[in-house]
Copies of this chain bind each other. A is one copy, B any other.
Amino acid sequence: MSPLSSRHIVLARHIPGRPEPEHFRLEPVEVGEPGEGELRVRTLFASVDPGTLSRLGGVDSYAPAVKLGEVIGSAAVGEVLDSRDARYAVGDVVAGGWGWREHAVVSAKGLRKVERGAESLSAELGVLGIPGLTAYFGILELGRPKEGETVLVSSAAGAVGSVAGQIAKRQGARVVGIAGGAEKCRWVKDALGFDAVIDYRSETDLGAAIRRECPRGVDVYLDNVGGTMLDTTLACMALRGRVVVSGLVADYGVPPEQRAGLKNTPFLIIQRLRMEGFVVLDYFARFGEARVALRGWLQDGTLKHREHVAEGLESAPALFAGLFRGENFGRAVVRVG
């Protein structure tokens, strides 16, 4: 074992609004040898997550802010090059959260071994990773749709929304998605089997479109977007509707005074709504159970997913910036190895 020449991506400038590639810097780095209880890994895939933006503005959020010069955090899958932990052998594949690095030395704690199964390894970052788990617990624990209820999902072609809608369908709900562009909408309806889909780019009145596709109101809204889309939907909820707030992409990096703001708050009372924010890591103790279910549905072909794979760690900043323009189609990951 000896130091390894590698590269990683750090935060070059705090991001006050929308991200651009120049907010990041690709740097060479020497990756040392693992200590006791550590592994050295070669990254195969790293995730590119919209939620990361909430940590790049220099202000602490549900996770501490990333400092200038710090490596960007993300989920990652890699191959073990050197192991100083008895549970892992060279050649094993592990998943962890070591971020945008081509190689890393990581503690064996907090890793999990990935079986090379029927799914691609990148699925560990998407449908079997944080997005899939967010969908699973967001629908089954918070939204809890009953048979025949209407579930609305924003970012329906995205990593969370696509899985959430399919899980809601399994529960017997009528599922309506919101997505941007004809191609995504077609996939959501035809491949994922949503009952209806709303193309927010082609609708002039989103509220009217939601009421048209959800004529009895929305019983469960799983929201990743926030902002005006959330506000509009509040006015379309059914009695005792549940709004599950799993992400607020529209608000990330936007100073409070510039946000659209929720103005339809009277509907909270009128319709007796419950609006709940959640962080999937709170369900960590149940991730195993959820992954067994998700993997089973993947393997029997009833759960579809889609990835947007860019080549090389260096492509991560541009892919990240594109997330906020809706440019990705499917779970965004970079293939590093």
Chain A positions near chain B (C-beta within 8 angstroms): 54, 61-62, 226, 230-231, 245-248, 251-252, 256-257, 259-279, 282
* Count of identical protomers in the assembly: 2
Residue ID in chain B nearest A256 by CB atoms: B263
- A266 to B251, Cβ gap below 8 A? yes
Q: How far is the CA of A214 from the CA of B209 in the complex (A)?
A: 43
Contacts of A61 in B (CB 8 A): 266, 270
Q: Which residue, of A62, A268, A269, A270, has the highest number of chain B Cβ atoms within 10 A?
A: A269
Residue ID in chain B nearest A230 by CB atoms: B265
- B268 to A275, Cβ gap below 8 A? yes
- A62 to B270, Cβ gap below 8 A? yes
- B261 to A269, Cβ gap below 8 A? no
- B276 to A274, Cβ gap below 8 A? yes
User: Contacts A251-B266, A259-B265 given; 11 further ones with Cβ under 8 A?
Assistant: A62-B270, A230-B265, A248-B266, A248-B269, A260-B261, A261-B261, A262-B265, A269-B279, A272-B282, A274-B274, A274-B275
| Partner among B62, B251, B271, B282 whose Cβ is within 8 Å of the Cβ of A265 | B251
- B263 to A257, Cβ gap below 8 A? yes
Residue ID in chain B nearest A61 by CB atoms: B270
Q: Which residue, of A247, A265, A267, A274, has the highest number of chain B Cβ atoms within 10 A?
A: A265
Q: How far is the CA of A200 from the CA of B229 in the complex (A)?
A: 32
- Residues A276 and B273 in contact in the complex (CB < 8 Å), given A61-B266, A257-B263, A266-B251: yes
Q: How far is the CA of A113 from the CA of B78 in the complex (A)?
A: 74
- B269 to A247, Cβ gap below 8 A? yes
Residue ID in chain B nearest A257 by CB atoms: B263
